[in-house]
Amino acid sequence: MTISGDAQLATLLERDKVRKDVSAIIDLIDGVLAAADGDTRTDWIDLIASSPSDELTSALLALRDERKGLFKEAKDDFDPAERVAALRTYLAAKGVDGFIVPRADEHQGENVPAHAERLAWLTGFTGSAGAAVVLGDKAAVFIDGRYTIQVRQQVNRDLFEYRHLVDEPVVGWLHDNLKTGQKMAYDPWLHTVQQAAHLRSACEGVGAELVAIDTNPIDVLWHAQPAMPLGPVRPHPIEYAGKSTADKRVQIADALSRISCDSAILSAPDSIAWLLNIRGGDVPQTPLALGYAIINGDASVELFIDDRKVAPETVNWLKGEATLRAPGELSAALKAMGNQSVRLDEATASDWLRMQLSAAGSTVRVGRDPIALPKACKNDVELEGSRKAHKRDGEKIIRYFKWLDEAAADGSIDERVAADKLLSLRAEDPLFRDSSFET
């Protein structure tokens, strides 16, 4: 905003008794814009003020639109070749010979926030699955069979070899291209325990070393990197959940007792959403809030989440159910678990979590996320909710096919128009949140 605009907003904030300054508001809005549908939704306003005046609401929406323009225009002013060169320079300065860039965030979800699209920034590839490896004299991008055409359209072959993610995996490429004594860097936040073990084995197999780095070099070089997402976190009412958070906590604590674990680390947002009956909006087409949780044998829960995105109603919802802690406190919490036996899912938890627990002296008990199976076993309320949702959606599908039958007769309807029409019909349902995937 302009200086006069800042002053006007500051006046409105003071008038509405909002204890946030303009700078904090801008940071929050940038996080909202980096979340799913942040440029169109308005339910984030109560993260700032529970009962804002019309003037404050208008000013906040105007600021959102202004920041949206800056968000869309923001870009790094160097091309992919320069990005690869900059990465190689950075790696050399850090004393490592290469770096692995997965299409992943810290929670290993299929959908990732804009902040985590590091593979797209480096290579130009925007598919939902992939990876890249960069060495000093060569690089490769790994994609699956869905993207064999797309990768040729988006990625410069002079910079990256094309490799099949499954048939020609990263570990095989490392085995063929690494030299004895070389150091391959990786970000332990972005690789699961299982993945890191495979990478480590591949490196050690040729006399190289897999090295965890504290700071992701892409985050250093990506000057226009979006903010961490701040999609509002809301309660998931018992009328839809069918089981209270208190009952779920006791159920999971009992399960931990049966496997002789003192606690479990939860890094999968869908597990946390189920346990605490909350929903969020951090990633596209998935109503999840990114964060971490620790559930203990006494059924207590610590939730590590940016409290700026926790709506006031959700703070009340979680009282007595979970202790809210800042994400930056997670490391200290893990260090305090040195005398505990801790459950960790090697297929979903980041290698960073394993490293922290091991350094603390914890007994890491590798196994399935204790919430995976209970979450999959739907109760009667959830089953009935699914039936009702299918009936409501079926009505929209019937209307859609009627429209398509009439509108497509002249051949003027393409796939995009057809998909948009179906989405618009589904959006008429007041309970509709989003499509489950892009069409």
Q: pLDDT tens digits, residue range 372-420?
A: 999 999 999 999 999 999 999 999 999 999 999 988 888 888 999 999 9
User: Of 73, 107, 122, which closes a domain?
Assistant: 73
The CA–CA distances, whole Å, from 373 to 301, 376, 377 equal 19, 5, 6
* Shared-domain flag, residues 200 and 252: no
* Shared-domain flag, residues 251 and 319: yes
Is the pLDDT assigned to residue 321 strictly greater than 80? yes
Contacts from 4-12 at CB under 8 Å and sequence distance 24+? 5/63, 8/59, 9/59, 9/60, 9/63, 12/53, 12/55, 12/56, 12/59
* Shared-domain flag, residues 239 and 371: yes
Query: Is 434 a member of any domain?
Result: no
Task: Report the pLDDT value the prediction gives residue 409, as an integer from 0 to 100.
Answer: 83
Query: Is 212 a member of any domain?
Result: yes
Task: Report the pLDDT value the prediction gives residue 70, as an integer from 0 to 100.
Answer: 81
* Shared-domain flag, residues 394 and 276: no
In the predicted model, what is the mean pLDDT of residues 16-45?
93
Total domain count, the chain: 4
Query: Is 280:234 a contact under the CB 8 Å cutoff?
Result: yes
Task: Report the pLDDT value the prediction gives residue 362, as an integer from 0 to 100.
Answer: 98
* Shared-domain flag, residues 372 and 401: no
Is the pLDDT assigned to residue 176 strictly greater than 70? yes
Which of 116-120, 298-302, 358-362, 434-438 is least confident?
434-438
* Shared-domain flag, residues 69 and 125: no
Which of 181-190, 223-232, 412-421 is least confident?
412-421
Task: Report the pLDDT value the prediction gives residue 438, as an integer from 0 to 100.
Answer: 74
In the predicted model, what is the mean pLDDT of residues 204-225?
97
Task: Name the region of 290 (left: φ>0; alpha: ψ -120 to 50; beta: rest).
Answer: beta
Q: For residues 401 and 418, what is the distance between their CA atoms, to the nearest angstrom?
A: 10
* Shared-domain flag, residues 113 and 67: no
Task: Report the pLDDT value the prediction gives residue 3, as an integer from 0 to 100.
Answer: 42
User: Of 73, 91, 125, which closes a domain?
Assistant: 73
Confidence at 156, pLDDT banded by 50, 70, 90: very high
Is the pLDDT assigned to residue 4 strictly greater than 60? no
User: Of 41, 73, 105, which closes a domain?
Assistant: 73
Confidence at 6, pLDDT banded by 50, 70, 90: confident
Cross-strand pairs, 263: 296, 342
Query: Is 437 a member of any domain?
Result: no
Task: Report the pLDDT value the prediction gives residue 65, as an integer from 0 to 100.
Answer: 93
* Shared-domain flag, residues 203 and 91: yes
Query: Is 438 a member of any domain?
Result: no
Two tokens, residue 355: 């490293």
Query: Is 439 a member of any domain?
Result: no
* Residue 235, number of CB atoms within 10 A of its CB: 18
Cross-strand pairs, 68: none
What is the pLDDT of the chain when averaged over all its residues? 94
Q: For residues 74 and 121, what is the distance between their CA atoms, to the nearest angstrom?
A: 13
Confidence at 77, pLDDT banded by 50, 70, 90: low
Is the pLDDT assigned to residue 114 strictly greater than 90? yes
User: Domain range holding 12?
Assistant: 3-73
* Shared-domain flag, residues 289 and 403: no
* pTM of the predicted protein model: 0.93
Query: Is 240 a member of any domain?
Result: yes
Query: Is 226 a member of any domain?
Result: no
Which of 3-17, 120-134, 254-268 is least confident?
3-17
Confidence at 434, pLDDT banded by 50, 70, 90: confident
Structure confidence by residue, pLDDT tens digits, 338-378:
999 999 999 999 999 999 999 999 999 999 999 999 999 99
* Shared-domain flag, residues 197 and 269: no
* Shared-domain flag, residues 104 and 120: yes
Query: Is 431 a member of any domain?
Result: no
CATH at residue 123: 3.40.350.10
Q: For residues 426 and 403, what is the distance between their CA atoms, to the nearest angstrom?
A: 14
* Shared-domain flag, residues 249 and 333: yes
